[in-house]
Structure 1
Amino acid sequence: MNHSRWRLNRERAIAEGGAEAPGVEAMRTEIRLAFDLGQAVHDRRIELGISQSELARRANMTQPQISKLELGGAVPTLRLLARLANALDASLTIALDGDTSSVVFTAHAA
């Protein structure tokens, strides 16, 4: 079954009053948060014009770790978030409010 067909079947089951397995929504939220963070890291890195390797060097990480983070495949610790913000010469703001979230790197004033 391909992804779009699976999604259609899932939406149809929910519309008919069916429920997803316990924990699926929480997992979906965690994945979305990881993706939002990864996208924000990627956007700021591109804004700075640096490679994943350069960001890894600045943050004392490896390039594969940066790649995994940008793809939403990692949930970093607070300590790592602080290192990333420093390496990206920015402050990091994460706003969580129910089902919505926002991850923003704001460049430090020059």
Structure 2
Amino acid sequence: MSATRRTGKCGRSPSRRPDGKPLSRSPQSEPWAELREEALAHPEAQEAYEATRIRFELGRAVRERREALGMTQAQLAEAAGLQQPAVARFEAGGTMPTLPLLERFASAPGMRLSVGFEPLDRAS
């Protein structure tokens, strides 16, 4: 049997034993949803998750607008006075931007930044 066949695609572990039977999960493994729920039960984790969600949503909004306009990251970066890697990090949710930086990201593709507050019971 070749190395590719033993390890599966991309070097991952095989999903079947050599005899063809499926590998069983270890008793300690849990579905991702259960692990996530357990982790988010901690207030610190909830705060970190919310901060990550906000960064991701901001980046997604800019990326969607940029793509709708047919702009590249380099073109958006030039229009905003930034470097392309900064745009890539922002769009991926890798940075928590300041308000002035958000204004630059908004104006470069022809948007207006709108910041507001809403009650937590209505927030998504």
Counterpart for residue 9 of structure 1: 35
SS at match of 2:112: strand
Q: Which has the higher helix share?
A: 1
Whether 1:83 and 2:104 are equivalent positions in the alignment is: yes
Q: Which has the higher strand share?
A: 1
How high is the TM-score relative to the length of structure 1? 0.72
Counterpart for residue 57 of structure 1: 78
Alignment root-mean-square deviation, CA? 2.5
| Structure 1 gap segments, 5+ residues each | 102-110
Amino acid at match of 2:71: I
Q: For the residues of structure 1 that align with 2:50 and 2:103, how far apart are their CA atoms?
A: 22
SS at match of 1:28: helix
Q: Quick check: 65-74 or 89-98, which moved more?
A: 89-98
Alpha-carbon deviation of 1:96? 4.4
Which of residues 38, 62, 84 in structure 1 aligns to 2:59? 38
Q: Quick check: 71-80 or 84-93, which moved more?
A: 84-93
CA, structure 1 residues 46+10, in 2 after alignment: closer, same or farther (shift >3 Å)?
closer
What percentage of aligned pairs have identical amino acids? 37
Whose Rg is larger? 2
How high is the TM-score relative to the length of structure 2? 0.65
Amino acid at match of 2:95: A
Which of residues 58, 72, 77 in structure 1 aligns to 2:93? 72
Matched residue pairs, number?
94
C-alpha deviations, 1:7-58, integer Å up to 9, x for none? 32343x48xxxx7344111111000000000000000001111000000001
Larger relative contact order, structure 1 or 2 (CA cutoff 8 Å, min sep 6): 1
